[in-house]
């Protein structure tokens, strides 16, 4: 389910880092004028996926150690 812009309910493309506030491109430009300071939703999603994958790899190695005992 895609995030929605907090102002107009369109699909969000940008968010404020560390915040749940998200904006579509038009509202982001209107509110902040320079979207370079905002984080793209895609970047945020990639970081989350990477963290989950890393945690999964650690969990697998823990499970392997337990099965060896």
CB-based contacts of 29: which residues, under 8 Å, 6+ apart? 35
- List pLDDT tens digits, range 23-69: 999 999 999 999 998 989 888 788 888 889 988 877 765 555 555 55
Q: What are the boundaries of each domain within the chain?
A: 14-68
Q: What is the pTM of this model?
A: 0.63
DSSP of 44-59, one letter per residue? HHHHHHHHHHHHHHHH
What is the C-alpha to C-alpha distance for residues 63 and 17, in angstroms, rounded to an integer?
A: 34
């Amino acid at each position: 389910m895609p995030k929605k812009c907090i102002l107009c309910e369109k699909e969000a493309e940008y968010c404020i880092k560390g915040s749940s506030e998200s904006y579509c491109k038009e509202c982001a430009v209107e509110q902040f004028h320079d979207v370079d300071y905002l984080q793209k939703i895609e970047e945020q999603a990639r970081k989350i996926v990477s963290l989950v994958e890393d945690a999964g790899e650690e969990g697998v190695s823990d499970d392997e150690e337990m099965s060896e005992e």
